[in-house]
Chains A and B, each alone.
Chain A
Amino acid sequence: MIWAAIAVVAAGCYAVKVLGLSVPASVLERPLIRRLAALVPIATLAALIALQTFGEGRALVVDARAAGLAGAAVALLLRAPFLVVVAVAVVVTAGVRALTG
């Protein structure tokens, strides 16, 4: 099942890239479609952040991951590069777990 999902995502993501390079600009250049295409990834990312920070199975919890995400947000505000942002989240989460757990 996981390999099938990987195949679907690989084929779909590649198809979307080829589509953009190949179709006439007028097809995708409608303002409503453009705005939707800009907003859907933002909605999806925001949902993933919320779910993976506060979701535990099908329950909502506030645990060490929330502290890690807060650390990542501070790193972002300080304009840290991507890997540093991720590393801060991991280290803060591990630290809070070590202190509380």
Chain B
Amino acid sequence: MTASPTPASLPAKPRAAVVRDALGVGIAVGLSGFAFGVTSAGAGMSTAQTCVLSLLVFTGASQFALVTAIGAGGAPFAAAAGALFLGARNAFYGLRLAHLLDLPPKVRPLAAQWVIDETSAVALAQPDRASARLGFTVTGVSLYLGWNVTTLVGALGASALGDPSAWGIDAAGPAAFLALLASMTRGTGSSGSWRRVRDRPEPVTAAVAAVLALLCLPVVPAGVPVLVAALAAPAVLIVTRRRGDNS
């Protein structure tokens, strides 16, 4: 994710290769809208609500977080706060893309909706600005179309299935989160010392957050445990920084 734009020594990447890479990511991830549609319908959202989420929110983790929290009986606004926590990372993708793509101000409001994990990964992997723009656009268009069409298919399909818990669809949310978590922490080795925790704080943060959430569950209103667990992030940063200073 730290690709530097336009190294002059590299030859320009063929446009066909960029389109192929971008379509591969866009179509594969676009199909995952099906899992969201099924999960959202299973959580009790209407087909209209499910489709509006994919059209307007268009960042998978936040969408799953909102519907599964509401489905579990959480207060809608606590659920919304959890979804916004997850969406905040897109600001940092935008920062990198702004420099790389150098978009004209008129295009920016439109392009912004596509600033997500996958489009950023494809764009940032390109060797030059033209390829990055092409990769971002093709990934954005294919993923947006695929995600929204398969969301609708999933929502309609789930309504036809009847009782979602009988089918195990309530396990789709946690599995989706696990896959997202794995993609965010990929490359993490085992860590034995505080130095290592400071360099790679992700596994410790995840473990602390999970334990905090489960401890909170019986004692605070539904939806709040996720917000308490998010405090694991600053807590781990503060603790590892302090230990690092002492050693």
Q: Using CB atoms and an 8 Å cutoff, list the residues of chain A in contact with chain B.
A: 1-6, 8-10, 12-14, 16-23, 25, 28-29, 32, 34-55, 57-60, 64-65, 68-69, 72-73, 76, 81-83, 85-86, 88-95, 97
Contact = CB atoms under 8 A, between A and B. Distances in A.
Given A5-B76, A6-B52, A51-B72, A37 B86 contact: no
B77 A5 contact: yes
26 contacts: A2-B70, A4-B77, A8-B84, A10-B52, A14-B113, A18-B108, A20-B115, A21-B97, A34-B92, A35-B237, A36-B233, A39-B205, A39-B233, A44-B82, A44-B230, A47-B232, A48-B82, A50-B210, A53-B174, A58-B222, A65-B170, A83-B35, A85-B176, A85-B179, A86-B175, A94-B167
A10 B56 contact: yes
Given A45-B180, A49-B181, A51-B217, A17 B90 contact: yes
A93 B170 contact: yes
Contact of A42 (B52, B64, B87, B206): B206
A43 B59 contact: no
B14 interface: no
Nearest to A59: B218
B97 to A, nearest CB: 7
A90 to B, nearest CB: 4
Interface residues of B, number: 98
Interface stretch (B5-13, B15-23, B24-32): B24-32
A36 B95 contact: no
A97 B166 contact: yes
A8 B214 CA distance: 26
A18 B218 CA distance: 38
Interface in B29-46: 29, 31-32, 34-35, 45
B3 interface: no
A39 B81 CA distance: 16
B49 interface: yes
Top 10 A-B pairs, shortest CB-CB distance: A20-B94, A93-B168, A89-B175, A94-B168, A47-B229, A68-B171, A5-B76, A47-B213, A20-B91, A43-B209
B226 A17 contact: no
- Interface-central residue, A5, A60, A97, by most chain B CB under 10 Å: A5
A72 B103 contact: no
B57 A43 contact: no
Contact of B92 (A37, A83, A97): A37
Interface string B176-193: 111111101100000000
A18 B62 contact: no
Contacts of B72: 51-52, 55
Nearest to A3: B49
Nearest to B232: A43
